Structure 1
Amino acid sequence: MIFSSVSKSMGAADAALLKLGMLTKIADIRLKAIALVFICFSAVWIIPVLAVLTRVAIGQFQLMFKPFVAYLQR
């Protein structure tokens, strides 16, 4: 969902710049290539790392509250 909205807004900006003559065809191709690389990089690297970091944070949170829960259970 995030990627589709990013690609839509990127496409709209790209089309507007082309119409205004502020972007050449070569620059347009390069811009699309950079966007594609960024989207692939995000999907392959950033999203799995965020999942791991979230699991680690949940584990740390559980470890932090174990003594408190044990104290309440006495």
Structure 2
Amino acid sequence: MTYFKNIAVARQAITDKHGQQKPQLTFCAEMSCPICKAGTLSYQISAVNGHIAAECSTSDCVKWME
């Protein structure tokens, strides 16, 4: 998979878990990384605009900020 496809897959896993709507309060959470299957995907969803910032604990896996 390409890097951007990996981001799309990881982002979809987050929105599958929490939904598409922006939260009332910004929050942080973690989940098993759906890309490398070995790391932990730490993420934050903004209450301002619903944007997601995430980073896998495995180097050279996924990391992005919207």
TM over 0.5, shorter chain: no
Q: What interval of TM-score do these two structures reach, taking the shorter chain for normalisation?
A: 0.3 to 0.5
Question: TM-score of the superposition, structure 1-length normalised?
Answer: 0.34
> Relative to total residues, which structure has the larger strand share, 1 or 2?
2
Structure whose alpha-carbon radius of gyration is higher: 1
